[in-house]
Amino acid sequence: MNTQHRQRARASAILRRYIAQFRDFADVHGIELAQLAWDDASETLLRHTPAEHHPGAYAAVRRGIAAHAQSRNLQRAA
């Protein structure tokens, strides 16, 4: 496994953890607050996980939070 592959795998694992954490946060505090919290946290994540290791990292987590909130809203409506 080359260095670049390891870096991308590590970045993907970090993103999965962030998505899970912010989904939980959204369940408790709501989607708007979760997205605001992510906006703040993303600066730290992207500083430690450069974009070249995982292109679109910022948008990926934000979409994950939004998709989770949407599915929760659909569950509540049903």
The reported pLDDT for the residue numbered 57 is 67
* Nearest 10 degrees: Cα torsion 45, 64, 9, 11: -10
Please say if the pLDDT value at position 13 is more than 70. yes
Q: List pLDDT tens digits, range 21-77.
A: 877 877 788 777 877 777 777 766 666 666 555 566 667 777 777 777 777 777 777
Does this model's pTM top 0.95?
A: no
How is 23-78 classified by DSSP, letter by letter? HHHHHHH-HHHHHHHHHHHHHHHHHHS-TTTSTTHHHHHHHHHHHHHHHHHHHHH-
